[in-house]
Chains A and B, each alone.
Chain A
Amino acid sequence: MFSYELIESNEEAVIYFKGDLDIEVTEIIEEQVIPLLKYYKKVDINMSEVFFVDSTGIGLLINLVDTLRNTESGIKVTVSNIHPQVQEVFELIQLKEILGEEVLR
């Protein structure tokens, strides 16, 4: 099952995703995560405990990053600690080019 954990310090937040990022988490991302992160200035999405993704899950991630970036305050978003096997999928889809290099290193 998917869960997340938020650690905040001042206006910066690190959110830890835990579990598979797939179609099942659509509601969690859209209804909980986005509203939760909207008011920080800097957000890091830590993917160290995401071992599987599906295409909807990747779509959600893109949507999340885009939504946060396009808020009025223009949140600076990064995605970090991606598991190597997930990274392989991201590379096949060229996610880095979609999100931009400053997000996905």
Chain B
Amino acid sequence: MGQSIIAKGRTIHDAIRIGLDILGATREQVEIEIIQQETKGILRIGSKPAIVKLTKIDKTEKTAPDIEDMLESIDISEDSKANNPTEEHKEVVSNDDLEGKVWVQNGKILCKTSPLYYPTITVGRGVKLYKNNELVNGTTVVTENDQFEIKTEEEVTETKWNIMIDENKLNATLYIEPGMRKTYTIQDIAPSPHIELNGEEHVEMINDLEYEQVLQELERLNIVHGINHEAIMEAMNVTKAEKFVIASGISPVQGKDGYIELLIDIHSDKKPMIRTDGTADFRELKNIPTVHKGQVIAVVHPPVQGTPGITVTNETILPKQTQPIFVQLGQGVAFVENGTKIVATEMGRPYFEQNGLLVKVSIVPKLIHNGDVDITTGNIRFKGDVEILGSVEDSMSVQAEGNVSILKNVNKANVTAKQSIYIGQNAIGSTIISGNNHIFVSEAAHVLTQIQMQMEKFILSIKQVMNAPAFKVTDFHKKGLLPLIKLLLDHKFRPLLTTIKQYIEMCKRGSNHLDMKWSKLGENLHSCFLSSVPNEWHSLERLNQLLNEIKELLEEYSIPNEQYCSVELMYALNSVIYCSGDVTIYGKGCHHSKIHAGGVLKVNGIVRGGELYARLGAVIKEAGSEGGAPTRISVPADQKIKMDLVREGTIIQIGKIRHTFQKEERWIEAFLDEQEQIIFR
């Protein structure tokens, strides 16, 4: 072999030229081996020179001095001072800059240590760095002797999907969450004493849902009806999680139960005409609709059947079975045209009561009483409406199954109506009761609830005693449960005895107002618990039966009576008014009266003294008195009390929270907040 030299240059071309100059040879006389390609760095930083090895092909052999020459020139070339001053200068500068720095180039870690400074690398996301085959955690020091290997991470999630059928099987929904491949690549990093090695994240969405797969799953789920192929196609192309309704059934069309159409307005505007001075003219009251003989009052409509629907699994969804309405005819009405129309056969006020699909229809007769009700006319009891054109005087009583209207006053008298009561003028020292669930019933029901609770425990105790191993039932055939009942009532259930006595007493007092069922129950309770001789009630079976009777009665009571009833009057003094609906006082107001309204209480005047309760809220113009007669207004916890003016000393109660006004206030609206505090607005 001939002489070899290694030459360096900016480009390979330059390096070769330099080499040939040194060798004094031509290109044909040498063999060229490229050791390193040049690299162009950014602003020459990180650039590398091209290195070539030239070997002279021997023809006329040169001697050793040449080699020395060569070595010299290599030195010269290595130091690169002469030939390419600008470039070489730059390289020196960059070499100085690189001292103690580390950088990344082409996915490789390169560095240049300085005696005083070793560069460091911190491993970031998406990259695993192995230093001399050891995994690096966090930060590591880099020296030129270390071998580094960079591995990038790859995350792959698969496409997720499923098909859900909703509860009614009316829709099948495809939920798709496309898969994803996350890869990282290593970017070049400029030299620096410390670098952070982060992979660059590349995310590729892969939705590999196949049409066939979906069809198979649909088949597996027996979904055959209303498949939306377009939606499936769409689902196959999404790149983010999404839901598609891919099959839908047909909802059934519900039919309609039979119903009754009223041809007359039974709830016509019940308000009296208000005169210009603000008082009401009850003579103009046209609150009671009247029908004549032969008038068609209602049409009975048969039920309409619905159309069935279909589920995605091809099952039929039946519409709800429709029911005909059942009409029970009372007095004064008749069916015509095969029971499709109801005609009045008497004159009077039409009356409808609907409970579910049962409708009771009748014509309520009306009694018109000219003049006052007093000792000369006697009390009035009437199974219909009563209209009194005068007053109801001292200690007289008026009872009606329907409405009662009294054009003048009620003085120290009792007026009871199952429906509404209108009093044209004042109620003084009287008791006015309107509605079915009046005060006696609610009190009796309260006591009965207590009896029910105690009786449940009582029966349980009897069973316990009878199950005790040392207890014999030898006396049952003679005396039944009586001795045991007595023993239990003697001490353990003494309160039950007291409550039952209280109930029986109540039934006696309220016999005029209470339904027969209530007093019958009282009698049964008496036979069972208060009898001193054995009777048929003294068996476990009968005790349970009695308990059931109580439950039934209480349930019946708790069904709200939809029927509208109200009490309207001008002024009340020292009176008791109980109404299961609204109570409205149009005139001056009420003094020292006790009012219980199952609906809304409205007082357009002054409330001075007395106790008022309004289940659905109270609206009062002025409450309280300067004299300080105690005035108490209460509503349940979820209701409001509105007052335009309230005087000192007035007590309001909302739910269980009570408030006494310490000074006069105006425009008050009181209610409870979430912390059960009274709030004023």
A-side interface residues toward B, CB under 8 Å?
20, 22-24, 51-59, 62, 83, 85-86, 88-89, 92-94, 97-98
Asked if B474 and A83 sit within 8 Å, CB to CB, the answer is no
Asked if B468 and A88 sit within 8 Å, CB to CB, the answer is yes
Closest partner residue, chain B, to A87 (CB atom): B470
Asked if B478 and A23 sit within 8 Å, CB to CB, the answer is yes
B-side interface residues toward A, CB under 8 Å?
461, 464-465, 468-475, 478-479, 481, 483-484, 486-488, 490-492
**Which of the residues B470, B483, B484 comes within 8 Å of A51, measured between beta carbons?**
B470
Asked if B470 and A59 sit within 8 Å, CB to CB, the answer is no
**Given known contacts A92-B461, A94-B491, A98-B490, is B475 in contact with A55 (CB within 8 Å)?**
yes
Asked if A92 and B472 sit within 8 Å, CB to CB, the answer is no
Closest partner residue, chain A, to B483 (CB atom): A55
Residues of A contacting B492 with CB < 8 Å? Answer: 93-94, 97
Asked if B471 and A52 sit within 8 Å, CB to CB, the answer is yes
Residues of B contacting A51 with CB < 8 Å? Answer: 470
List 4 additional A-B contacts (Cβ < 8 Å) besides A23-B479, A89-B470.
Answer: A54-B473, A54-B483, A89-B471, A93-B491
Asked if A97 and B491 sit within 8 Å, CB to CB, the answer is yes
Asked if B470 and A93 sit within 8 Å, CB to CB, the answer is no
> Which 7 interchain pairs have the tightest Cβ spacing?
A85-B470, A55-B483, A23-B475, A55-B484, A54-B472, A56-B475, A94-B492
**Given known contacts A55-B483, A93-B488, A97-B491, is B469 in contact with A22 (CB within 8 Å)?**
no
In the assembled complex, the Cα of A88 lies from the Cα of B465 at a distance in Å of 9
Closest partner residue, chain B, to A54 (CB atom): B472
Residues of A contacting B473 with CB < 8 Å? Answer: 54
In the assembled complex, the Cα of A45 lies from the Cα of B487 at a distance in Å of 20
Closest partner residue, chain B, to A85 (CB atom): B470
Asked if A92 and B475 sit within 8 Å, CB to CB, the answer is no
Asked if B468 and A92 sit within 8 Å, CB to CB, the answer is yes
Asked if A54 and B475 sit within 8 Å, CB to CB, the answer is yes
In the assembled complex, the Cα of A104 lies from the Cα of B491 at a distance in Å of 15
In the assembled complex, the Cα of A57 lies from the Cα of B472 at a distance in Å of 9
**Which of the residues B461, B472, B487 comes within 8 Å of A59, measured between beta carbons?**
B487
Residues of A contacting B488 with CB < 8 Å? Answer: 93
In the assembled complex, the Cα of A19 lies from the Cα of B475 at a distance in Å of 16
In the assembled complex, the Cα of A23 lies from the Cα of B473 at a distance in Å of 9
Asked if A24 and B474 sit within 8 Å, CB to CB, the answer is yes
Closest partner residue, chain A, to B468 (CB atom): A89
Asked if A56 and B470 sit within 8 Å, CB to CB, the answer is no
Asked if A93 and B487 sit within 8 Å, CB to CB, the answer is yes
**Given known contacts A22-B475, A89-B465, is B470 in contact with A55 (CB within 8 Å)?**
no
Shortest B136–chain A CB gap in Å is: 79
Residues of B contacting A93 with CB < 8 Å? Answer: 465, 487-488, 491-492
In the assembled complex, the Cα of A83 lies from the Cα of B471 at a distance in Å of 12
Residues of A contacting B483 with CB < 8 Å? Answer: 54-56, 58-59
Closest partner residue, chain A, to B472 (CB atom): A54
In the assembled complex, the Cα of A92 lies from the Cα of B484 at a distance in Å of 11
In the assembled complex, the Cα of A88 lies from the Cα of B481 at a distance in Å of 19
In the assembled complex, the Cα of A90 lies from the Cα of B465 at a distance in Å of 9
In the assembled complex, the Cα of A82 lies from the Cα of B629 at a distance in Å of 63
Most buried by A among B470, B475, B492: B470
In the assembled complex, the Cα of A62 lies from the Cα of B273 at a distance in Å of 73
In the assembled complex, the Cα of A89 lies from the Cα of B464 at a distance in Å of 9
Residues of A contacting B474 with CB < 8 Å? Answer: 20, 22-24, 54, 56
Residues of B contacting A88 with CB < 8 Å? Answer: 468-470
**Which of the residues A22, A55, A85 comes within 8 Å of B487, measured between beta carbons?**
A55
**Given known contacts A92-B464, A92-B465, is B472 in contact with A53 (CB within 8 Å)?**
yes
Asked if B487 and A86 sit within 8 Å, CB to CB, the answer is no
**Given known contacts A56-B479, A56-B483, A94-B492, is B472 in contact with A20 (CB within 8 Å)?**
yes
Shortest A32–chain B CB gap in Å is: 20
In the assembled complex, the Cα of A28 lies from the Cα of B483 at a distance in Å of 18
**Which of the residues B465, B468, B472 comes within 8 Å of A22, measured between beta carbons?**
B472
Shortest A79–chain B CB gap in Å is: 15
Closest partner residue, chain A, to B477 (CB atom): A23
Asked if A59 and B491 sit within 8 Å, CB to CB, the answer is no
Shortest A78–chain B CB gap in Å is: 19
In the assembled complex, the Cα of A57 lies from the Cα of B483 at a distance in Å of 9
In the assembled complex, the Cα of A55 lies from the Cα of B479 at a distance in Å of 10
Can you report 17 A-B residue pairs in the complex whose CB atoms are below 8 A from each other? A54-B472, A55-B465, A55-B471, A56-B483, A58-B483, A58-B487, A59-B486, A62-B487, A62-B490, A85-B469, A88-B468, A89-B470, A93-B487, A93-B488, A94-B491, A94-B492, A98-B487
Closest partner residue, chain B, to A84 (CB atom): B470
Asked if A52 and B470 sit within 8 Å, CB to CB, the answer is yes
Closest partner residue, chain A, to B479 (CB atom): A56
**Which of the residues B465, B468, B475, B486 comes within 8 Å of A85, measured between beta carbons?**
B468
In the assembled complex, the Cα of A56 lies from the Cα of B471 at a distance in Å of 11
Shortest A26–chain B CB gap in Å is: 9
Residues of B contacting A57 with CB < 8 Å? Answer: 472, 475
**Which of the residues B469, B471, B486 comes within 8 Å of A54, measured between beta carbons?**
B471
Most buried by B among A20, A24, A92: A92
In the assembled complex, the Cα of A62 lies from the Cα of B492 at a distance in Å of 15
Residues of A contacting B472 with CB < 8 Å? Answer: 20, 22, 52-54, 57
Shortest A14–chain B CB gap in Å is: 22
Closest partner residue, chain B, to A91 (CB atom): B468
Most buried by A among B461, B474, B491: B474
Residues of A contacting B490 with CB < 8 Å? Answer: 62, 98
In the assembled complex, the Cα of A83 lies from the Cα of B468 at a distance in Å of 13
Closest partner residue, chain B, to A52 (CB atom): B472
Closest partner residue, chain A, to B465 (CB atom): A92
Most buried by B among A23, A57, A97: A23
In the assembled complex, the Cα of A3 lies from the Cα of B586 at a distance in Å of 82
Shortest B175–chain A CB gap in Å is: 61
Most buried by B among A53, A57, A93, A94: A93
In the assembled complex, the Cα of A98 lies from the Cα of B492 at a distance in Å of 9
Most buried by A among B464, B472, B473, B483: B472
Residues of A contacting B486 with CB < 8 Å? Answer: 55, 59
Shortest A24–chain B CB gap in Å is: 7
In the assembled complex, the Cα of A88 lies from the Cα of B469 at a distance in Å of 9
Asked if B491 and A86 sit within 8 Å, CB to CB, the answer is no
Closest partner residue, chain A, to B484 (CB atom): A55
Closest partner residue, chain A, to B493 (CB atom): A94
In the assembled complex, the Cα of A59 lies from the Cα of B464 at a distance in Å of 18
In the assembled complex, the Cα of A53 lies from the Cα of B470 at a distance in Å of 6
Shortest B426–chain A CB gap in Å is: 56
Shortest B487–chain A CB gap in Å is: 5
